[in-house]
């Protein structure tokens, strides 16, 4: 006699297991604890077997019968439904193990150690915020171009087109890694070329007019914030290093007697030398009296850590500078590059080496920390003298040096 919904709902547990049979091998197993399990009794290869059809009430009588019928169709085709379920489960587990997020995190873990910390943080934050919530659980081999485009459109709709382009770039890197490791057949990001509106990278805001540079330097001298931040403001134009390298400078890297700062460039992982002008050494000796017993030259509120990533830009805004349109902590590099070449007539190769840029020479050498070191030492002192003269309101005459 076939079961009914009322019978299944009202059956009570007893002190031993009960089996309430429906039709074509389906039955309800009722445990003494009150659990109700659907089972299918069938024979395959001359052996009697049992297959779970789900738990009541999550799976009702109608659904259990549909699952039974699907299993019996497999039997009719010579397939053991129990084995088929194990195969499907294994395939599902494999797809989960090869989800977009799993592969992306594996790709990230292999590449992040070679990146600058700030870059690696941006990459993983971008993936976690803008990509994983939408396709993170999808098998990477199943993600197609339209689905990826939908993810990018959500970013674009927020008005951050640059982020959308960078997310597309990162996704392409993940897909190509999946192809290389046998988890995907192709990279669908290539199909989206031209799908996003074009975006052009904007340069960091920078002041390159000598008169305005002079005004900025005088504002630095009048800064009323902490002495540590004021020193950072004074030294940032003199050194024109990347903001992260400035704020993470360590006393152990400095030799004030030799007037040198030696450190590893975060972006290229190469050794770099910054010759210290007399003005820089003077500022550092004054600052050493305050922070010389610390690891970092510019410690933050927590003296065991460097000052905040936003400290210099916050100070610039406090003095009335717009860090989006006028000057930013990274803008001192463009300021120095422009004025050293256009006003002081220093050779581009000397300037680029001091900027720690990889500029191949005729022999293919990308960067050498000691190349042009004498010219760079002279340039850094001339640059500091030039800035002092600007600040004092003097008329500065280009001096330049010849390159080797």
Catalytic site residue from 367, 376, 377, 386? 367
Which tokens go with 69? 């019928």
Helix axes 210-221, 373-392, angle to 10 degrees: 80
First to last CA, the chain: 101
Closest CA to 390 of 207, 206, 203, 241: 207
* 379 CB-contact burial (10 Å; exposed 0-12 / middle 13-18 / buried 19+): buried
Q: Is 272 a catalytic residue?
A: no
Catalytic site residue from 330, 337, 353, 376? 330
Answer yes or no: are the C-beta atoms of 209 and 217 closer than 8 Å: no
Count of Cβ atoms closer than 10 Å to residue 151 Cβ: 21
Catalytic site residue from 333, 353, 376, 377? 333
Q: Is 285 a catalytic residue?
A: no
Q: How many CA atoms lie within 13 A of 235 on its CB side?
A: 29
Q: How many CA atoms lie within 13 A of 226 on its CB side?
A: 14
Answer yes or no: are the C-beta atoms of 272 and 356 closer than 8 Å: yes
Q: Is 267 a catalytic residue?
A: yes
Catalytic site residue from 36, 242, 247, 248? 242
Residues with catalytic function: 242, 267, 330, 333, 357, 367
């Amino acid at each position: 006699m076939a079961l009914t919904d009322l019978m299944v709902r009202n059956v009570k547990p007893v002190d031993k297991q009960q089996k309430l049979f429906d039709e074509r091998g389906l039955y309800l197993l009722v445990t003494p604890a009150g659990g109700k399990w659907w089972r299918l009794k069938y024979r395959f290869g001359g052996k009697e077997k049992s297959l779970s059809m789900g738990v009541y009430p999550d799976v009702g009588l109608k659904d259990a019968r549909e699952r039974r019928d699907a299993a019996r169709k497999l039997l009719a085709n010579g397939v053991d439904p129990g084995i088929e379920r194990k195969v499907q489960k294994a395939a599902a587990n494999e797809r989960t193990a090869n989800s977009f997020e799993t592969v992306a995190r594996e790709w990230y873990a292999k590449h992040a150690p070679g990146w600058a910390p700030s870059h690696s943080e941006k990459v993983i934050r971008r993936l976690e915020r803008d990509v994983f919530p939408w396709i993170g659980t999808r098998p990477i081999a199943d993600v197609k171009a339209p689905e990826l485009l939908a993810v990018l459109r959500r970013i674009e709709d927020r008005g951050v087109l640059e982020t959308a382009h960078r997310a597309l770039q990162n996704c392409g890197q993940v897909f190509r890694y999946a192809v290389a490791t046998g988890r995907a057949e192709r990279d669908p990001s290539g199909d989206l070329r031209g799908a996003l509106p074009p975006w052009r990278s904007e340069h960091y805001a920078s002041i390159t007019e000598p008169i305005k540079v002079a005004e900025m330097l005088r504002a630095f001298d009048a800064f009323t914030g902490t002495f540590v931040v004021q020193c950072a403001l004074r030294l940032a134009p003199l050194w024109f290093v990347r903001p992260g390298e400035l704020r993470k400078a360590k006393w152990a890297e400095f030799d004030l007697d030799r007037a040198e700062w030696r450190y590893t460039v975060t972006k290229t992982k190469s050794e770099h030398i910054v010759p210290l002008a007399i003005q820089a050494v003077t500022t550092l000796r004054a600052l050493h009296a305050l922070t010389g017993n610390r690891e970092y030259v510019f410690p933050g509120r927590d003296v065991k850590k460097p000052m905040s990533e936003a400290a210099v830009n916050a100070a610039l805004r406090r003095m009335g500078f717009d860090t989006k349109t006028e000057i930013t902590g990274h803008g001192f590099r463009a300021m120095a590059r422009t004025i050293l070449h256009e006003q002081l007539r220093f050779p581009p190769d000397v300037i680029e080496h001091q900027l720690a840029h990889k500029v191949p020479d005729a022999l293919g050498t990308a960067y050498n920390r000691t190349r042009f070191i004498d010219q760079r030492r002279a340039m850094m002192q001339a640059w500091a003298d030039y800035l002092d003269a600007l600040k004092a309101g003097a008329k500065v005459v280009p001096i330049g040096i010849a390159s080797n």
